[in-house]
Amino acid sequence: MHIMEGYLPVVHALGWSVASAPFVALGFRSIKRQAEERPELKMVLGVSAAFTFVLSALKLPSVTGSCSHPTGAGLGAILFGPLVMAPIGAIVLLFQALLLAHGGLTTLGANVFSMAVVGPLVACGIFKLAQGLRAPGWLAILAAAFLGDLATYITTSFQLALAFPAVHGGLWASFLKFAGIFAFTQIPLALSEGFLTVIVFNLLARHNAHAFQGMGLIREVPE
């Protein structure tokens, strides 16, 4: 992730685009609704989008046809829910494909599905689970961002394996190969993203404490 331009077969590229489209459409509706309900948090939404753009633009070469990098999608998923990140991620990935030659237009649907659909869903789910278990706030955020990032790369590994199954061992063998190569760079990147997400979340919470408490993101307003 991002999977580069022209790397996926046409059928796969179209299929992932179709799979991503409903999430992007629902995400725009979610953004509109939340902006109307909490207009004071529009700036925070902008910060979340910028966070995703900057972190996901920091790439390291990895599997042929792809790369490793933080995703930044966990922050927005925690703050606004996973659906919001689908259109934000799509816009981020589109700009990176056009301006940075990072990813591509034919692989946009696949990249959106892994980074802006699966990653945020996992991040939000882990955050809610950790909150339900009464985990410390920083640990809930760290786990959410860390596992959301890894979920993106597991999905990318599956996408690549599905497109290029191994001659011996098929889909499963190919998946293990892609995921194993990604792991060398992605695990430390995901952990770093987790700690950075905690820092940024705490900074935002300091200036939006009452709103965050009303949204159930924090238990107490910091003094």
Dump pLDDT digits (tens) for 55-83: 888 776 655 555 678 899 999 999 999 99
Domain-embedded: residue 73: yes
Alpha helices in 82-223 (DSSP H): 82-99, 108-112, 119-132, 137-163, 170-207, 209-214
Q: Is the pLDDT of residue 170 over 70?
A: yes
Summarised one tens digit per residue, pLDDT across range 138-152 is: 999 999 999 999 999
Contacts of 159 (CB under 8 A, 6+ apart): 3, 8, 12, 16, 110, 113, 114
The residue-averaged pLDDT of 38-42 equals 89
Phi, psi for 72 (deg, rounded to 5): 75, 0
Residue 16 lies in a domain: yes
Domain span including residue 192: 10-214
Give the CATH number, domain containing residue 116: 1.10.1760.20
Per the structure, the count of domains in the chain is 1
In degrees rounded to 5, what are phi and psi of residue 84? -60, -30
Q: Does 205 fall in a domain?
A: yes
Token pair 């869903």 is found at 121
Residue 44 lies in a domain: yes
Q: Categorize the per-residue pLDDT at 108 as very low, low, confident or very high, splitting at 50, 70 and 90.
A: very high
Q: What is the pLDDT of residue 174?
A: 92
Half-sphere exposure of 169 (CA within 13 A, CB side): 9
| Confidence at residue 60, expressed as pLDDT on a 0 to 100 scale | 67
Residue 222 forms part of a structural domain: no
pLDDT digits (tens, 9 = 90+) for 125-136: 999 999 999 999
Q: Which amino acid is at 167?
A: V
Let me know the angle formed at the C-alpha of 205 by 42 and 92, rounded to the nearest 5 degrees.
45
25 domain-assigned: yes
φ, ψ for residue 167, nearest 5 deg? -60, -40
pLDDT (mean) for 96-125: 92
CB 175 within 8 A of CB 154: no
Mean pLDDT, range 31-43, rounded to an integer: 91
Residue 82 maps to a domain: yes
Whole-number Å distance between alpha carbons of 148 and 128 = 13
Average pLDDT across the chain, whole number: 90
pLDDT at 216: 85
In-domain check, residue 38: yes
